[in-house]
Amino acid sequence: MELTTKAGLALVALGIGVFAVWKWWTDTRHFVPVNLPMPLTAGESISSQFRLNYDGLYLIEITAEPSIPLDTLHCLMGVDADAVRCKDGPPAIAARWILFSNGQELRRGSSSEAHSAPAETQTITRVIGEFPAKAGQNYSLQVTFTTDASGLALAHPRLKVTVASIVYTDLESAGVLVFSAAFICVLFGGILLGIAWFARRPGGAV
């Protein structure tokens, strides 16, 4: 087989391989390691054990579907709520949380503290905590809800642990670079294969 043909095939294979490995890697990351129904009764606790395979900042969130009037949902969630419109009652989200790893307490916090902004989604999201975490490590999260949240029942609130939005931004940027590199490999590989094909035609250059 001609050197040009071998080089072209190698570049095409490299480009496809790089893109395939990147897609496999991103598809196997646990970006949302916890996704559980949130208790609606004050005083209830929920615990979850999980193992991460991605380093980064993780957010502890409560998400709710927009299945009740948005003004009411915002007031109950305490998200972008108008103080005058929501004066009839406090938010339905109040919680304390503790994060453990290998039996040792790593961090604790509450929903009353300021936290990072959530990623933009189709659900209404309230961040109640955050923590840096490392891949390959086991964690245990305990969350205690301290207020009645029955008003959120129709919105199906869920407790989630998810990577911060900046992680998705970084991955999107890295994905563009990977796709560009793979595309260039396939493009130049295709050009070399085209040159080799024309060279083999009758009357083509040797």
* pLDDT tens-place string over residues 157-191: 999 999 887 777 777 888 899 889 989 999 888 88
Instruction: Give the Cα separation of 170 and 191 in Å (integer).
Output: 32
CA distances from 175 to 13, 20, 170 (A): 18, 12, 8
> Does residue 172 contact residue 31 with C-beta atoms inside 8 Å?
no
Domain segments of the chain as ranges: 32-164
Instruction: Give the Cα separation of 33 and 139 in Å (integer).
Output: 10
For the entire predicted model, the pTM comes to 0.79
> Does residue 39 contact residue 46 with C-beta atoms inside 8 Å?
yes
Fold of the domain built from segment(s) 32-164: Jelly Rolls (2.60.120)
* pLDDT tens-place string over residues 85-126: 777 667 888 999 999 998 899 999 999 887 877 766 778 899
Least confident range from 27-31, 61-65, 156-160: namely: 27-31
